[in-house]
Homo-oligomer: A and B are copies of this chain.
Amino acid sequence: MSRPLILVSNDDGITSKGIRVLVSVMKKLGEVVVVAPDSPQSGMGHAITIGETLRLYEEEIFEGVKAYSASGTPADCVKLAKHYVLKDRTPDLVVSGINHGSNTSISVLYSGTMSAAIEGALEGYPSIGFSLCDYSSKADFSHVEAWVEKIATQVLERGLSKGVALNVNFPPKQNEEIKGIKLCRQADAKWQEEFSERFDPNGRKYFWMAGNFVNFDKGEDNDEWAIANNYVSIVPCQYDLTAHHAISRMNKDWDWEYLKK
């Protein structure tokens, strides 16, 4: 059997430390092709590039690995990989990251890292987004490499349910070793923004957005709890957003006579 084909992307950009670590682990498991943004794309959510052109350049960054930088978003990178770089070859695995910073809870919505993984999932490829809950560009990834390898190996061997991508978060490096893996649901939490109001040299007002994370979740089966307790969190994520429970409720509660044409 030929070696698995593994597509690697991220949202911190092709020169970040996190993607170097991810590529080095994936090289043990298969043939690696990298298509990643040429600049940081944090907070890009599932953005794609419409109405603007895209650039794609071959890069010699990772030894023995075909690599391309793209001018677009993480989701663009997966699309370019599928339709232009890989063409008739189908990846056995799509991995994104390792993100410098947490993508637990509601951050999955804003996450460029996860958008690459979800884009992979909707093409039918087993896909994983990896994030380390440490925002430093020089973050220590040494304690997570073995976990990345194990989780990727499981996905290569066992596959994933249709329409599902894994959101994997790792606790930051601590004195104590990581305790293990928790399969989790997305925690009920959100960002509480603050806008810092300033004036430019021309006297015109501008804003910086900053956020404080607020966790409402008291459960122990969610990703926030797992990270806080030094476990790896894995949340399987779906891109079918339908809230089926709300359909039932609306069928019952709404005034359908009034809503007739």
Contact = CB atoms under 8 A, between A and B. Distances in A.
Interface of A: 40, 42-51, 53-56, 75-76, 79-80, 82-84, 106, 108-110, 115, 118, 122-123, 150-151, 154, 157-158, 160-161, 163-164, 167, 177-181, 183-186, 188, 190, 193-195, 197, 204-209, 234-247, 249-251, 253-255, 258-261
Contacts of A204: 55
B49 A43 contact: yes
A50 B116 CA distance: 18
A184 B234 CA distance: 29
Nearest to A50: B43
A40 B52 CA distance: 12
Q: So how many copies of this chain end up in the complex?
A: 2
Given A48-B110, A48-B209, A209-B79, A254 B158 contact: yes
The 4 closest A-B pairs by CB, nearest first: A45-B46, A236-B246, A43-B50, A238-B243
Contacts of A234: 250
A220 B249 CA distance: 20
B40 A51 contact: yes
8 contacts: A53-B206, A55-B204, A83-B195, A109-B118, A160-B246, A167-B241, A186-B242, A235-B242
Contact of A241 (B54, B179, B186, B205): B186
A188 B258 CA distance: 30
A122 B105 CA distance: 12
A207 B55 contact: yes
